[in-house]
Amino acid sequence: MGIANVDAAGIVIRRARREDVARIATLIMLGAPQQRKSAAEIAAETRDPAYLAAFTEVDASPHNTLFVAEQAGEVIGTFQVTLIPGLAARGRKRAKFESVHVAPECRGQGIGAVMIRHALAFARERGAGLAELTSHNDRRDAHRFYVRLGFEQSHQGFKIAL
């Protein structure tokens, strides 16, 4: 799958660019469980230079790829694929999918499925033998979506802020 892939529905999946950062940050904030920020607060937050710094680090990493989904030239979704080498299962590489978000007004149109199919193909092409993701406990619709796509709820995840 080269740099960009066009789906039959006109959805273009491509690597994120620097100019996409504010929109990506907006999509992530809109997808957060119990999001209560106003549009003005979200717009102000996306101007924080930390987002561009994080993008620069992700973009420079050979193990990370940040993608966007576009429709009619507008960024309507985003996801990140991280490839993780390991010793388990005879050195099987795994792909971790992070920050999978579709604009609220575009949900239910198959865009997320296009994004995940692209992420799976991208990971396979790079030698991953397993794909995994986490989803917040409150995102029940997202959980049903991932199960429909063939993911199994096989583990309980844990986090700690550092």
Place of tokens 């904030």: 29
Q: Rounded to the nearest 10 degrees, how much is the dihedral formed by the CA atoms of 137, 142, 145, 146?
A: -60
Instruction: Supply the CATH number for residue 137's domain.
Output: 3.40.630.30
Instruction: Please give the full DSSP string across the chain, using - where no structure is assigned.
Output: --SEEE-TTSEEEEE--GGGHHHHHHHHHHHSTT----HHHHHHHHT-HHHHHHHHHHHH-TTEEEEEEEETTEEEEEEEEEEE--SHHHH-EEEEEEEEEE-GGGTTSSHHHHHHHHHHHHHHHTTEEEEEE---TT-HHHHHHHHHTT------------
Residue 84 covered by a domain: yes
- Assess whether pLDDT exceeds 70 at residue 158: yes
CB count, 10 Å around CB of 11? 22
Q: What is the pLDDT of residues 54-105, one digit of tens each?
A: 999 999 999 999 999 999 999 999 999 999 999 998 989 999 999 999 999 9
Residue 22 covered by a domain: yes
pLDDT of residue 45: 83
Residue 57 covered by a domain: yes
pLDDT of residue 6: 57
Residue 153 covered by a domain: no
Say what the pTM is. 0.89
Nearest to 33 by CA among 160, 116, 109, 140: 140
Residue 111 covered by a domain: yes
Q: Which domain holds residue 82?
A: 4-148
Name the residue type at position 112. Answer: G
Structural domain total, the chain? 1
**β-bridge mates for residue 101, sequence order:** 78
CB count, 10 Å around CB of 95? 23
- Assess whether pLDDT exceeds 50 at residue 2: no
Backbone φ and ψ of 63, nearest 5°: -100, -5
